[in-house]
Amino acid sequence: MRVAMIGSGYVGLVSGACFADFGHDVVCVDKDPGKIERLKAGVMPIFEPGLDQLVASNVKAGRLSFTTDLAEGIKGAEAVFIAVGTPSRRGDGHADLSYVYAAAREIAAGLSGYVVVVTKSTVPVGTGDEVERVMAEANSAAEFSVVSNPEFLREGAAIGDFKRPDRIVVGLEDERARAVMAELYRPLFLNQSPLMFVGRRTAELIKYAANAFLATKITFINEIADLCEVAGANVQDVARGIGLDNRIGSKFLHAGPGYGGSCFPKDTLALVKTAQDLGAPMRIVETVAAVNDQRKRAMAKKVIAAAGGSVRGKAVAVLGLTFKPNTDDMRDSPAIDIIQALQDAGATVRAYDPEGHEQAALVLKDVAYAADPYAALEGADVAVLVTEWDAFRALDMDRVKAALKTPVLVDLRNVYDPAEMARRGISYSSVGR
């Protein structure tokens, strides 16, 4: 099949490359000429393990190409995906759908013959209806169906998630579109991946409900961690004890500094706003978002307490900047709030992240970036582990202790064993233990 992917960011590029790897003929379209030229040269706009090789192999095979010309990109396409950004709108927290609607208008203007227009972007319930209206208004002669096909890709594991998904959700309103989508995803039938055909509004809501539920699990275990600390319990044991219950499950029960990234913060907020507008407020999700926002800066207080009650004039080494490992994504990373709070308290910050320095420099000021973790630790009064990169899981603790001015480590991801740290003479603080 011929497929056009409008938007060559995280979702569009990964999805386009994976579809091409299935054997489809894919054109990725983006308005940014610099990005397209870099993609043609094999330079990825994001860090995602394995993506550069996947893109290169499919470009070489002639199945994947890049262009800034939307009209040319959609020519002859049987499915056109909208995979543009839907950031939180300034002022009210609603999802900004201007890029989605702009893409819909351009697609409609360039259509000749029937095509399935697939919304891959994360959009509030009812957006597909508006996309349909916008396209019909832009080109009353256009023949098309609008489908919702939300993505469930985890940054750092996106290729595996796309090729071996838990489920594929397709929201549609007509059988003609169903046949196209079934053929598009036919290669995944070999893996017995559940292909769910539902109503379009249901598909849109599934995406938001999934992210809100996962964000709730994270926030729940973080509050349990706080209780564990004052009650003298171990949150890791609590998490294991409840996670072994099949009704609950063990995933997303890892206490830490709060969630961040491109999805959970904006999607929980958008769901809250949509629910309020429709007169069905979601009090649990409202609380989850509020608690998570507060938690990030609260982690800075934990660092300050470990440093003796003040970090004024002290140097803090921060290990990990991105919101999670195996990505360079800094969007709503807990590290941002933690570092800014420490700087507000008078600390100087030196940091190391395997992939995040370039993106971090765009949002953080007055941070010195080190070449490796030990350089970041050198001469620091306290160290804080914020992101659980593999590079931080087996640090040489003798080197860590020798590098630090005072042997104080705050582990916000519970990577290390408290008893082992005590044996080594390191003042160690973690979350919920």
pLDDT in tens, 164-196: 999 999 999 999 999 999 999 999 877 677 899
Which CATH number goes with the domain that contains 78?
3.40.50.720
Chosen domain end from 198, 222, 239: 198
| Domain extent at residue 347 | 296-429
Q: Are residues 7 and 141 in the same domain?
A: yes
Q: What is the rounded average pLDDT for all residues in the chain?
A: 96
Three-point CA angle 422, 326, 401, nearest 5° = 25
Could you give the angle at which helices 200-231 and 235-243 cross, rounded to 10 degrees?
A: 140
pLDDT attached to residue 104: 97
**2-44 pLDDT, tens digit each:** 999 999 999 999 999 999 999 999 999 999 999 999 999 999 9
Average pLDDT over residues 120-131: 96
Residue 313 lies in a domain: yes
Does the structure show a pLDDT above 90 at 219? yes
Q: Give yes or no: 18 in active site.
A: no
Average pLDDT over residues 242-271: 96
Structure confidence at residue 145 as a pLDDT band (50, 70, 90) = very high
pLDDT attached to residue 192: 72
Residue 117 lies in a domain: yes
Q: Are residues 24 and 161 in the same domain?
A: yes
Task: Tell whether the torsion through CA atoms of 205, 207, 212 and 213 is positive or negative.
Answer: positive
Q: Are residues 52 and 176 in the same domain?
A: yes
Chosen domain end from 149, 182, 198: 198
Pull the structure tokens for residue 430.
């973690």
Residue 282 lies in a domain: no
Residue 285 lies in a domain: no
Does the structure show a pLDDT above 90 at 92? no
Q: Are residues 177 and 307 in the same domain?
A: no
Total structural domains within the chain: 2
Average pLDDT over residues 332-343: 97
Residue 9 lies in a domain: yes
Does the structure show a pLDDT above 80 at 342? yes
pLDDT attached to residue 194: 86
Average pLDDT over residues 67-73: 96
Chosen domain end from 182, 198, 214: 198
Residue 27 lies in a domain: yes
Residue 284 lies in a domain: no
Does the structure show a pLDDT above 90 at 126? yes
Does the structure show a pLDDT above 90 at 250? yes
Q: Are residues 74 and 182 in the same domain?
A: yes
Residue 242 lies in a domain: no
pTM: 0.93
Q: Are residues 182 and 67 in the same domain?
A: yes
Tallying the residues shown for the chain, one arrives at 433
pLDDT attached to residue 89: 86
Does the structure show a pLDDT above 80 at 149? yes
Does the structure show a pLDDT above 80 at 246? yes
